[in-house]
Structure 1
Amino acid sequence: MGYRTTYVDSPKGLLAVIPGYPADKVGNERYTMWRDYGPIEGVNPRILTYRIDTYEGQSGSPVYHYFDTGVRIMAIHTRGNKNMNSGNRITDDVFNNIKKWSE
């Protein structure tokens, strides 16, 4: 799995996937990873927006797409409400910070 920085408009319309452990699951379901997917609807240099179903507890989950060359993480899910969800894009600066933190 890798990351992908892209031009501002290029991710719009791509099918994105968000996995995670949403806090609304009960019993044994809370130990199961869930995922949902949908198109990227809005793009700016720092944020991707989408209507992919998420819930509390999924912040920090990857927002990824299956490219021809493999899975690439495009953003980190950070916020949502009943109308729209969004994630911070993996820019070169974000990637370099993650790399530093993992050393």
Structure 2
Amino acid sequence: MHTCRISGTHIVGNTDLTGTFYNCRALRNLYFKGWDKDLYLEYSPLLTLESMRNIVNGKASSMATATVFVHPDVYAKLADPENTEWHKVLTDALEKNISFATI
């Protein structure tokens, strides 16, 4: 059984992150700068609002479109228009051609 105990990490540039966050259920803080591949964070229900803002702001300008796969709990916060701070992350992401999805 794979156990992930990451509490936060900093990723820069075009790092291949395939499978990096598999089963990272305790992951809260993530800082990306210049990411240029779809992100798979579907195992991480505890991601913070600040982390989600950093993900949106860290997308490489060279990447036309991107999908960030998130845990259903995170997606629910993003999609809820009454949760104004989280929903703003979703609308800001759309302006940068980033979509959120859940698996």
Q: TM-score range by the shorter chain?
A: under 0.3
More helix per residue: 2
Which of structures 1 and 2 has the larger relative contact order (alpha carbons within 8 angstroms, sep 6+)?
Answer: 1
Structure 2 length as normaliser, TM-score?
0.25
Kindly indicate which of the two structures has a greater share of residues assigned to strand.
Answer: 1
